[in-house]
Amino acid sequence: MRLMNDKVIVITGASSGIGAAVARRVGQMGASLVLAARRERELRAVAAESGPRALAVVADVTRRAEVEGIVTASLGRFGRIDVWINNAGRGITRQVAELTDEDLDEMMRVNVKSALYGMQAVLPHMKERKRGHIINVSSVLSRIPFASIRSAYSASKHALMSLTANLRVDLRAEFPDIHVSSVLPGAVATDFGLNARYGGPDSRLLPHAQPVEEVVEVIADLIQHPRAEVYTRPIYQQQVGAYYTAEDVATIESQPPFVTPKR
């Protein structure tokens, strides 16, 4: 299946999890890829599995200069960037009362500033071409507090959603063909939980964890049919709707699935 052979797609956090799975899928569909992450060995393995036009760029996306280097490498290899997916991120296992300054700083650095750097780095190129697509991988936790042990992660994804929406509004009038999207998964069956700050429950063992392949298909469809926000399962959007239309959200929070997993 070669439905994306006209796309050059950059994916951050591409050495594992959702990023690696998206790379393999869109590579199969014919896309040219630039895959970025810190872990060189894992990243190059994913690139080798993602088709003949996959470029691995070792980079720490919490450093602005290295994100700008991804843009330079992409343009040097392929001459353009059609889609930029800010996927890099990390969880945390601490409730609000336990958070330190460094906990919150890291969540903002990894989950928000890295995406901001990506948006700001690729925007001049997209504005010059007057088209492009920025996709920020967020979370249902950006909208509703399903897991209080992910409090700082949730806060960072709230911030990411706000930046994403405001950029979309800023571009709409002058650059209607530059799309800015958010993807909102719930729990996904990857090693995300194990890699969280302070460790945590294995996401692959959580009840109702979504197979990563389902998330990948949602993102692939979003690339082909851009829209502002997409939930990776319809029930997540329904739950968000119920939460924000409740007369008192505390009533919703007292019911399942608003629970704190055991550590």
Residue ranges of the alpha helices (H) in 87-150?
A: 101-108, 114-129
Q: Is the pLDDT of residue 35 over 90?
A: yes
pLDDT at 262: 52
pLDDT at 174: 98
Choose between 115 and 193: higher pLDDT. Answer: 115
pLDDT band at 2 (very low <50, low <70, confident <90, very high): low
Q: Is the pLDDT of residue 263 over 60?
A: no
Rounded Cα–Cα distance for residues 69 and 61 (Å): 10
pLDDT in tens, 45-82: 999 999 999 999 999 999 999 999 999 999 999 999 99
pLDDT in tens, 73-96: 999 999 999 999 999 999 999 999
Work out whether the CA dihedral 66, 67, 70, 75 comes out positive or negative.
negative
pLDDT at 200: 84
Diameter of the chain measured on Cα atoms: 54
pLDDT in tens, 135-189: 999 999 999 999 999 999 999 999 999 999 999 999 999 999 999 999 999 999 9
Q: Hey, where are the domains in the chain? A: 8-253
174 CB contacts (<8 Å, ≥6 apart)? none
Average pLDDT taken over every residue of the chain: 95
Catalytic residue among 153, 198, 236, 243: 153
pLDDT at 207: 79
Instruction: Give the Å distances, CA to CA, from 153 to 103, 142, 144.
Output: 9, 8, 12
pLDDT in tens, 209-260: 999 999 999 999 999 999 999 999 999 999 999 999 999 999 999 988 886 5
Residue 243 catalytic?
A: no
Question: Whole-model pTM?
Answer: 0.95
Supply the DSSP string of 51-72, one letter for each residue. -TTEEEEE--TTSHHHHHHHHH
pLDDT in tens, 90-136: 999 999 999 999 999 999 999 999 999 999 999 999 999 999 999 99
- CATH fold of 8-253: Rossmann fold (3.40.50)
